[in-house]
């Protein structure tokens, strides 16, 4: 079971990291357009639409990746004090009541929305129109991947309710791990506390 959960996590991570490269494309596009507009006096009407579509794609496809890393914002003023089983019960309830209906509706409606756009070969309202339907197909794609990851999170909740502890997630290099950094540079908490006391003493002097 753990291999299946990690397999979906890896897939969501791969999708998120793949589309994260759009930030490079977006940065290059904006830089080029600024240069073209102000240095060459040759703006392009389609660039704004392209920027919006690229950013929207990047934003939507990051959802499953963030969920796989348990990185979505949570109001955990009380949640953090709960026992794992209580946390799992709360999460499971919210997944069933809110997440599943919302994401299923998003995926289903997004698929219909995108197909209607394809049928009429919808374009942006611009002097230099771009095809809009490829971007709209990103809605059901992002929804489907997020739904798959959500099912995995529901399974994790069930496992936690049964075993009393959250299943382990795979490690991923996302942010600086303070504990690992301390190990790398051979720094102990006692050393940091001693340094803090030394700084305080000097400040008072």
Are 5 and 150 in contact, with CB atoms under 8 Å apart?
A: no
Q: Which of 8-17, 69-78, 188-197 has the lowest mean pLDDT?
A: 188-197
Angstrom CA distances, 22 to 17, 55, 84, 157, 170, stand at 9, 8, 37, 33, 25
Q: Give 189 or 147, the one with higher predicted confidence.
A: 147
Give 75-106 pLDDT, tens digit per residue.
767 787 889 999 999 999 999 999 999 999 99
What is the extent of the structural domain holding 57?
2-173
pLDDT for 173: 45
Q: How many domains does the chain have?
A: 2
For residue 74, pLDDT over 80 is answered with no
Tell me: do 61 and 145 sit in the same domain.
Answer: yes
> Do residues 55 and 126 share a domain?
yes
Dihedral angle over CA of 63, 68, 74, 78, nearest 10: 170
Q: Is the pLDDT of residue 141 over 90?
A: yes
Residue written as token pair 């009429």: 120
123 and 180 fall within a common domain: no
Q: Taking residues 4-15, report their average pLDDT.
A: 92
Q: Please tell me whether residues 26 and 87 are part of one structural domain.
A: yes
pLDDT in tens, 57-72: 999 999 999 999 888 8
Q: 117 and 20, same structural domain?
A: yes
Closest-CA residue to 9 (of 159, 168, 170, 154):
170
Q: Centre a 10 Å sphere on the Cβ of residue 49 and count the other Cβ atoms it contains.
A: 19
Same domain, 64 and 95: yes
Same domain as 148, residue 81: yes
Q: Look at residue 52 in the predicted model and tell me its pLDDT.
A: 93
Model pLDDT, residue 95: 95
Clarify whether residues 179 and 162 are in a common domain. no
pLDDT at 189: 63
Same domain, 129 and 179: no
Tell whether 116 and 192 lie within a shared domain.
Answer: no
pLDDT > 70? residue 18: yes
The answer to whether residues 179 and 156 belong to one domain is no
Residues 124 and 99 in one domain: yes
- pTM across the whole model: 0.77
User: How does residue 133 score in pLDDT terms, banded at 50, 70 and 90?
Assistant: very high
**Residue predicted with more confidence, 191 or 157:** 157
């Amino acid at each position: 079971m753990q291999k299946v959960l990690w397999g979906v996590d890896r897939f969501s991570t791969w999708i998120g990291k793949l589309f994260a490269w759009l930030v490079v494309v977006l940065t290059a596009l904006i830089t080029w357009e600024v240069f073209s507009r102000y240095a060459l006096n040759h703006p392009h009407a389609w660039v704004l639409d392209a920027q919006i579509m690229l950013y929207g794609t990047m934003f939507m496809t990051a959802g499953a990746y963030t969920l796989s890393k348990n990185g979505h914002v949570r109001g955990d003023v009380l949640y953090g004090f709960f026992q794992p089983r209580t946390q799992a019960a709360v999460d499971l309830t919210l997944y069933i009541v809110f997440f599943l209906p919302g994401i299923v509706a998003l995926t289903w409606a997004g698929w219909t929305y995108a197909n209607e756009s394809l049928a009429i070969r919808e374009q942006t309202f611009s002097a230099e129109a771009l095809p809009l339907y490829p971007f709209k197909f990103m809605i059901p794609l992002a929804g489907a991947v997020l739904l798959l990851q959500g099912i995995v999170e529901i399974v994790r909740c069930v496992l936690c309710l049964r075993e009393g502890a959250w299943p382990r997630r795979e490690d991923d290099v996302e942010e600086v791990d303070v504990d690992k950094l301390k190990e790398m540079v051979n720094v102990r908490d006692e050393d940091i506390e001693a340094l803090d006391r030394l700084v305080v003493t000097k400040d008072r002097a």
